[in-house]
Amino acid sequence: MIGLIASAFPVGDWQFWVATVLALGALVYLLRKVVPVVLPKRKKQRSRATLTVEGRAVDRKT
Amino acid sequence: MDADASQAEPVAKRVVLVGNPNVGKTTLFNRLCGLRNKTSNFPGTTQDARTGHVRHADAHLTDLPGIYSLEIDSSESAICRGVLAGTTAPGGEVVAAPDAVCVVVDATNIPRNLVLVAEAARRMLPMVVALNRVDVARKRGIHADEDVLAETLGVPVIVCSARTGEGLDDLARAMTKAAIPKDTPAPGMDGAEAWADRVSVAMGAADQGEASASLTDRLDHAFTHPLLGLGVFIAIMGAVFWTIFRLAAFPMDWIDGVFGNLAGTVEASLPAGILTDLLANGVIAGVGATVIFLPQIVILFFLIALLEDTGYLARASFVMDRVLRPFGMPGQAFVPMLSSHACALPGIMACRSIPDRRERLAAILVAPFMSCTARIPVYVMLTGLLFADSATKAALAFMGCYALGIFAGLFSSLIARRTILRGPSVPMAMELPTYTLPSVKRAAGEAAERGWLFLRKAGTVILAISIVLWWMSAYPKTADSQELIDARSTLAVKNIAVRPASPEALEQHVAEVTLLSEVLAKLEREYAIDSVRNSFAGKLGQAVEPIFAPMGADWRLSIGIVTRFAAREVFVSTMAVVIAGEDDAEAEGVLDEIASATRDNGTLLFYPAAAWALLVYYVLAMQCLPTLAVTAREAGGAKWALLQLAWMGGLAYVAGVAVFQVMVLAS
Amino acid sequence: MSDCCQGGMANEACAAACCALSELRVGEGGAVTAEAVAEADLAALRARGLGPKVSVVVRRRGSPCIVEVRRANGPACRIGMTKALARRVMVEPTVSASSLA
C-alpha cells in the first residue's frame, strides 16, 4: 500500500509538496470566490455607545 | 479639546465630483489625480467609486456617478445624495459629509447643467463649479460669463478643459478654497429649473445654433428606420466582428508563440522536475490561456467605444429596442449583449446601465449565452471536424453557433420575464448625443481599462484553475511501462553508440534510430493518455461518463466537458492530450489524430451525432467560474448565479441529448 | 396646428389646448405642460431636460420619437423615447418650426 502511494505520489520529492501546497492554495482561492457568494452574510451586530467625556455624557448640540 | 489638535498635520480636504453624465467628469478626475487613484465600491451597491489625490493640491477627490438630478429615484442619485449627506462613502473612505463639492458643468450646455448646480447648492456644502469643455464651447461660439455665476452663487467658478488641461491648476487650488453658496434656489424641481434658466440667461450662455441639424435629422432617420436602421446595424456589427477576427489573429498567434516558447525555454533551462512542469504547464499555460483572448476583447471594446463616441450606439439602442423588447429586455441591453461576445464579465457589468431592476436581471442572466471568445477554439475544432471537406459549411456552422447562443439568450429572457421576473417594461428614453468624430485616445483608454479588468478578474481565476487542473491531471502518476523503459534505454544506447564508418552501415544505423524514435514517440503518447486516464481528472471524467453518455460522450469527452467547466479554454488542449498524448493541439498531425480517434467499440470518437451534440452543448452551457462570481455580485445574490448555472446547464444538457438522440435515430 | 387635438385625450385639463407628443408631426413643436411631467415615471425625462415650459420640436415621429429640447437660451439637445412614452408627454402645440424658416 505504501509502495503504491509512493509510486503514485512522489512523497519523497520536496517539489511534490511545494506543488501540492500551491495547488491547494489555488483551490482555496477558487472556493473563496464561490463560497462567500453561497454562504449568506451574517448581519453585523450593531452596538450602541454613548459618547462621554470625563464620565459625563456629551451634549451633541454644543 | 485636545491641546495637540491645533498642531496636528492638516488633513487633505475631501472633495467629491458631481455632474451630469458625459460632461467630462471622469476625464477631469484622471487629469487631476493621474495614476494615483483606486477603485472601490459603494457599500451595498455595484456602483464603482474612484478616489484619488489631486496633484499639487491638498485635496482627496472622489468621482461620483454621473446624474441628471439629485432628486430622481435612481440608484446613482441615491448614492450621490448619501455621499453629500454623509451617510455613505466608497469602501475604505470616511463616512462623513465631504469638505467640498465640485460640480462639473458642461460649458456647451449650461442651462441643463445648472439644474444640478442648483440642487447641489441647496445642500449648503462648500462648493466650487468647474465649467468644463470650454474649448468646445468656444468653437461653437458659446461665450458664457462665469463671473455672473460666481457672483450669484458666491463660490469659485473655474473655466477649464479636461481635454487640453486649461484651468486645471486653478481648479485644484479652488477646491481647497470652496465656499458655501449664498444663493439657494427655491425647493423642488420647479425651483431648480427656474433658477437655472434665470442664471443661464444672465450668463449669456446662448448657443449660436446647430449648424448641421438637417444632417443630424437625416442620420437619425437612417439609423433608426425600422428596415434601413436594422440593415445599417447588421452591416456595422458584421464589420465589427470581421475586424475583430482579422486583426486579432496576428497578436493571438504572437502571444501563442511567446508563451509556447517561454514554456519550452523554462523546460529546457530549469532542471527537470515537478516544479518545472508546474511552471511550464500550469502557470505559463494558465497565464497564456488568459492573455491569448486579450486581443479580441481589447479590439471589441475599442470599437464599441469608438461607436459610442460617434453617437451611433444611442441610436442603435432604439433599433435594438424593437428587437429586444418582445423578449423582455430594453434597447440598452444591446451593448452588454454585444460586450458579452468578447467576454461575459464586462458584459454583465455593463448591465448597470439598464435602469429597471427586472430588465437588468434578465440581461445579466442571459448574457453568458452570447458566444464569447473562449468558445471560439472549440467551435473551430468541432466545425472543422464536422465539415472537413467544406470550409464554407464549416463557416456557416460557426456562424450558426453564434445565432444559437443569441436565440437561446432571447428565449431565456422571455421565459424569465414571464415567470420569475414578471413585470411591466419601462419605456426607453435616452439622450441622443451629437454626432462627432470619435476620439481614438479615449477609445484606447476605455479598451485598455476593460482589458485590464478582464485580466484582473478572470485571469487570476483562470490561473488558479490551471494550477488545480495541472495537479489533478498529473496525479496519481502512472508508472512507466517496461516497454517504455526498454525503448528509452535502447534508443539512448543507440544514440551514444559509435557511428559506423561505412555508408551502408551508417544508413542502417540511422534507419534503426529513426524507427526506435518513432516507436518511443508512440509509446510516450500512449503513456501520456494512460497518465490522464489514471489521474484524478481522468477518474472524474470516467465517473461522470454515464451522465454524458446519452449525449454521445465517452470518458475522454467527459473529461473535456468536466475540465471545461472550470475554464472553457482548456477543452481543445485537453482533447489533444487525452486523444493524441500531445498537449499542443496545433502540433503537426494532432488535429488529424483527434479527427480519426476511435472509441473502445471501434466507432469514431467524433462521429457526426456526437460532434453536433457536443457543439450544441458547448454553445449553451454555463462553464465559466469568473462569470458566475460576477453574476452573483451584480445581481445581488448567489441565488441568481445558481439559477443561471442550473438553467444554462440544464438547457445545454437537454439540447445536447436531444440532438444526439435525434441524429442517431435519423441515421 | 396639427390635427392631433381632434382625437381628444384623457387629460381634461389639456382637452382643447394640449396634445400628446406622439401626435405632433415632424417640425411641429410645443411647450411641455406641467401636468404631463408630474408623474414619477417621467421624472427621468424631466431630469434630462424635458420639463415644464420647455420648448420641444419633433424631429422624428414614431418609435423612437426624437425631440429637440431647448431650455432657456441654451443649446438644443436631442432626446429619444419610445412611442409609448411619447404618448404620455403632453405639449401645448405652437407654430411649426418649419413654417418659421
Q: Specify if B307 maps to a domain.
A: no
Q: Who contacts B385 (Cβ-Cβ below 8 Å, separation ≥6)? A: B594, B595, B606, B611
CA distance A30 to chain B (A): 7
- Predicted local confidence at residue A50, as pLDDT: 59
Q: Specify if B62 maps to a domain.
A: yes
In chain B, pLDDT over 90 holds for what percent of residues? 33
Q: Specify if B620 maps to a domain.
A: no
- Nearest 5°: phi and psi at B432? -100, 110
Q: Are B573 and B557 in contact (CB under 8 A)?
A: no
Do C66 and B224 make contact, defined as CB atoms within 8 angstroms? Answer: yes
Residue B9 scores a pLDDT above 60: no
d(CA B398, CA B396): 5
Residue B8 scores a pLDDT above 60: no
Q: Specify if B63 maps to a domain.
A: yes
- C73, C83, C85: best mutation site toward chain B, by most B Cβ within 10 Å? C73
- Predicted local confidence at residue B541, as pLDDT: 85
Section C61-79 average pLDDT: 83
Subunits in contact with chain B (3 or more CB pairs closer than 8 Å): A, C
- Predicted local confidence at residue C3, as pLDDT: 45
- Predicted local confidence at residue C10, as pLDDT: 47
Higher pLDDT, C55 or B567: C55
Section B163-181 average pLDDT: 90
Question: In whole numbers, what is the pLDDT of chain B averaged over residues?
Answer: 85
Do A19 and B632 make contact, defined as CB atoms within 8 angstroms? Answer: no
Residue A56 CB-density burial (10 A; 0-12 exposed, 13-18 middle, 19+ buried): exposed
Q: CB distance from A22 to chain B under 8 Å?
A: yes
- How many Cβ atoms sit within 10 Å of the Cβ of residue C70? 20
Q: What spatial distance separates the first Cα and last Cα of chain B, rounded to whole Å? A: 90
Q: Specify if B575 maps to a domain.
A: no
- How many alpha carbons lie under 13 Å from residue B490 in its C-beta half-sphere? 16
Q: Specify if B167 maps to a domain.
A: yes
Q: Who contacts B631 (Cβ-Cβ below 8 Å, separation ≥6)? A: B348, B364, B365, B368, B640, B641, B644
Beta bridge pairs of residue B343: none
Domain of residue B59, CATH code: 3.40.50.300
Out of A8, A22, A37, the one facing B638 most closely (by C-beta) is: A37
Tell me the pLDDT tens digit for each residue of B420-434.
999 888 788 888 888
Q: Are B459 and B287 in contact (CB under 8 A)?
A: yes
Q: Are B54 and B168 in contact (CB under 8 A)?
A: no
Section B39-49 average pLDDT: 70
Higher pLDDT, B578 or A43: B578
Instruction: Show the CA angle centred on residue B614, arms to residues B610 and B617, nearest 5°.
Output: 140
Range in A47-51, B29-33, B652-656, C25-29 with the lowest mean pLDDT: A47-51
Q: CB distance from A62 to chain B under 8 Å?
A: no
User: Three cell numbers at B81?
Assistant: 445624495
User: Three cell numbers at A57?
Assistant: 455624557
Q: How confident is the model at residue B4 (pLDDT cuts 50, 70, 90)?
A: very low
What total of structural domains would you count in chain B?
1
- Predicted local confidence at residue B228, as pLDDT: 93
Residue B505 scores a pLDDT above 90: no
In chain B, pLDDT over 70 holds for what percent of residues? 91
User: Three cell numbers at B442?
Assistant: 479615449
Tell me the pLDDT tens digit for each residue of B239-291.
998 898 888 888 988 998 898 889 889 989 999 899 998 998 888 888 887 88
Predicted complex ipTM: 0.83
Residue B658 scores a pLDDT above 90: yes
Q: How confident is the model at residue C100 (pLDDT cuts 50, 70, 90)?
A: very low
- Predicted local confidence at residue B208, as pLDDT: 52
Q: CB distance from C80 to chain B under 8 Å?
A: yes
- A4, A13, A16, A53: best mutation site toward chain B, by most B Cβ within 10 Å? A16
Task: Please report the DSSP string for B447-510 in residue order.
Answer: HHHHHHHHIIIIIHHHHHHHHHHHHHHH-SPPPPPHHHHHHHHHHHHHHHSPPPSSHHHHHHHH
Do C74 and B224 make contact, defined as CB atoms within 8 angstroms? Answer: no
Antiparallel, parallel or unpaired: β B157-159 and B127-132: parallel
- Find cell 479527427 and name the residue: B595
Residues 37-56 of C with CB under 8 A from B: 40-41, 43-49, 51-52
d(CA B156, CA B174): 7
Antiparallel, parallel or unpaired: β C65-70 and B429-432: unpaired
Residues in chain B: 667
d(CA B592, CA B423): 52
Tell me the pLDDT tens digit for each residue of C4-40.
444 444 445 445 578 888 899 998 888 887 666 556 6
Higher pLDDT, B524 or B572: B524
Antiparallel, parallel or unpaired: β B127-132 and B48-53: unpaired
Beta bridge pairs of residue B14: B60
d(CA B82, CA A41): 23
DSSP for residue B624: B
Higher pLDDT, B110 or B12: B110
Max mean pLDDT range (A4-13, B86-95, B473-482, B652-661): B652-661
CA distance B202 to chain C (A): 10
Q: Specify if B203 maps to a domain.
A: yes
| Buried residues in B384-408 as b, exposed as e (16+ CB within 10 A) | bbbbeeeeeebeebbeebbebbbeb
Domain limits at B18?
A: 10-207
Residue B636 scores a pLDDT above 70: yes
Q: How confident is the model at residue B621 (pLDDT cuts 50, 70, 90)?
A: very high
Subunits in contact with chain A (3 or more CB pairs closer than 8 Å): B
Q: Specify if B657 maps to a domain.
A: no
Task: Please report the DSSP string for B273-305 in residue order.
Answer: SHHHHHIIIIIIHHHHHHHTTHHHHHHHHHHHH
